[in-house]
Amino acid sequence: MRVLITRPSEDARALAEALAGRGVEAIVEPLLEIAPLPADDLDLGGAQAILLTSANGARALAAATPRRDLPVLAVGQATAAAARTAGFRDVAAAGGDVAALAAMADERCAPAAGPLVHVSGSVVAGDLGGRLAARGFTVRRVALYEARPAAALSPAAATALSQGVLDAVLLFSPRTAKAFVTLAQQAGLAATLGRVRALCLSAAVADAARAVAWRDVCVAARPDQAALLALVAR
C-alpha cells in the first residue's frame, strides 16, 4: 500500500515511521511551508495559560520566548507532544478540535484569572476566541507563523498519481485539502483521484476534499492521528 502524507515535513516524519511499521509506504508531500512571523506582539504578561491549536504553533512559541512556566492547553495529542518536546512542563491535551479545546479551557481556567494567549498561524480554522469570549474570557491571539501553499505537486506525487500506484491521500485540514485539490487540477491529474481514497481528519476536511471525485472519502472517528491511522488499515 502507498499513501501520500500532506503534512509539513516535521509533522510528517513520525507519521511516516508509524506507517512504515505497518508495512505502508509513505510519500511525504508538504503542501504548506511553515515560515516564522515576528514575535513583536507576543505578550505573556498576566496570562493564565497558553492555547495551542497546532504543533507548528508550539514550535513557533518555543522559538519566540524562553518562558516555559505557563500552563499550555493544546488542541490534541500531537500538539501537546510538540509542546513537551519544546520544554513546556505543564501541558494538557484536548480532544482534537477547537470545541474540545474551548471546553477544556473553560473547565481549567477562570475568566477573572487573566487572559488566555492563543498562539496560532496567520490563518485560523474555527472561532476559538469567540467561543471563549462567550464564556467571559479575554483571549489574545498572536500569529507566530504563516503557512505558505506549495506551488505545484512534487514529481514523486505527480508520478504516483499518473501511474495509478497511490492508494490514499492523508488530509489534515480544510486548507490542505483545498490546496491538494487545486494542485491536482492544475497538473491535469484530478481524474486520477477516482482511484484514490481521501482519508480526512474531520468532516470539514472531507467537505473541502469533495471538490473532486475520489474513489472514497473517509472521515476519522476522532480528529487525531491514531484515528487517521485506523482509516489506513481499513
pLDDT of the residue at 178? 94
**pLDDT given at position 213:** 97
pLDDT tens digits for range 39-59: 998 999 999 999 999 999 999
* Mean pLDDT of all residues in 149-175: 95
Q: Of 180, 189, 167, which is closest to residue 210 (Cα–Cα)?
A: 180
Residue type, 28: V
- pLDDT-wise least confident of 9-23, 100-114, 163-177, 187-201: 9-23
pLDDT of residue 169: 98
pLDDT for position 125: 79
Cell numbers of 154, please?
512534487
Report, as an integer, the average pLDDT of 78-95. 95
State pTM to two decimals: 0.79
Strand partners for 146? 35
Q: pLDDT value at position 4?
A: 97
Phi, psi values for residue 183, rounded to 5°: -70, -35
| Domains (range + CATH), the chain | 2-31+151-232 (3.40.50.10090), 34-147 (3.40.50.10090)
Q: Do 50 and 70 meet the contact criterion of CB atoms below 8 Å apart?
A: yes
pLDDT band at 201 (very low <50, low <70, confident <90, very high): very high
Looking up cell 476559538, which residue turns up?
Answer: 128
Between CA 179 and CA 195 the distance in angstroms is 19
pLDDT at residue 12 in the model: 87
In degrees rounded to 5, what are phi and psi of residue 10? -60, -40
Give the pLDDT confidence of 101-132 residue by residue, as tens digits: 999 999 999 999 999 999 999 988 789 999 99
Question: In sequence order, which ranges of 43-123 are alpha helices (DSSP H)?
Answer: 55-64, 77-85, 98-108
**pLDDT surpassing 90 at residue 63:** yes
Q: d(Cα 32, Cα 92) in Å, to the nearest integer?
A: 26
Residue-level pLDDT at 2: 95
Q: What percent of the chain has pLDDT over 90?
A: 82
pLDDT, position 124:
87
What pLDDT does residue 117 have? 98
DSSP state, residue 211 = T
Instruction: Please give, one letter per residue, the 3-state secondary structure of the chain.
Output: CEEEECCCHHHHHHHHHHHHCCCCEEEECCCEEEEECCCCCCCCCCCCEEEECCHHHHHHHHHHCCCCCCCEEECCHHHHHHHHHCCCCCEEECCCCHHHHHHHHHHHCCHHHCCEEEEEECCCCCCHHHHHHCCCCCEEEEEEEEEEECCCCCHHHHHHHHCCCCCEEEECCHHHHHHHHHHHHHCCCHHHHHHCEEEECCHHHHHHHCCCCCCEEEECCCCCHHHHHHHHCC
Does residue 61 carry a pLDDT above 90?
A: yes
Span 163-172, average pLDDT:
96
Which pLDDT does position 223 carry in this prediction?
84
pLDDT level of residue 10 (50, 70, 90 thresholds): confident
pLDDT confidence of 225, banded at 50, 70, 90? confident
